[in-house]
A and B are shown apart, each in its own frame.
Chain A
């Protein structure tokens, strides 16, 4: 069965929401997402190696992952687990070494229906400054319109 496409929406000025459906019960999706041994296999882009420096998966626990390029260039990401409700919800903070001092909040929700699981990942930015920093580094959340709407518009202009 083909999984539903990734959807990206912008419900407010400070949020980005991404959804994607998987053909598996959420217990399995939960394990794939939160097992430190499995994280290196999906967390980062394919062209980087993902290294779990540490992952203390409990409320108040800290995590730090690295994306290492073939040339040795390393990008560090880190945060803290704020809420863990197995197998349906993880709330964590997330920072990127490249944008020091700015910490976003990331909520992953898993909802199961007919043996399929919908992942809804909501990223909330702390301020306009944080948002603008993300815009500058290539991630946008300024527009009220969804990416889809913009993409539709752009498609008609081609």
Chain B
């Protein structure tokens, strides 16, 4: 499992919608299809990709297959995102220090 496969699984808009929907609560395939107005086989295909990426897991409850989000891969993205943002923030903060210094010098003139 890595951030790249999580990202590529989420890059497809319908799959992203499914993840957003499951964020509220676990749901069976039929209800996911109804709410997103998709065909059930189509939803099953997307769920398979999400499941392969480790983003969802299936729990059989009575006769139904209930799909729920797994939080671990999203946490991984979160950590990656933070690293990336920190790098850029740091760079821009340092640039800001240089800009402020140039501004001060100009005022003294």
Contacts and interface: CB of A to CB of B under 8 A. Distances in A.
A32 B92 CA distance: 11
Interface residues of A, number: 38
Contacts of A46: 90, 94
B84 to A, nearest CB: 7
Contact of B13 (A41, A139, A144, A156): A144
Interface in A22-39: 22, 24, 28-29, 31-33, 38
A128 to B, nearest CB: 11
A135 interface: yes
B97 interface: yes
Tell me whether chain B's interface is mostly helix, strand or loop, or mixed. Answer: helix
Interface in A135-158: 135-136, 138-140, 142-145, 147, 150-151, 153-154, 156-158
B45 to A, nearest CB: 19
Interface of B: 3-4, 7-8, 10-11, 13, 16, 19-20, 23, 69, 71, 74-75, 77-78, 80-81, 83-85, 87-92, 94-100, 102-103, 106
Given A143-B7, A143-B11, 20 more contacts: A6-B85, A8-B84, A18-B88, A22-B95, A24-B100, A24-B103, A41-B94, A139-B84, A140-B4, A142-B4, A143-B8, A143-B10, A147-B85, A150-B81, A154-B74, A154-B77, A154-B78, A156-B23, A157-B23, A158-B78
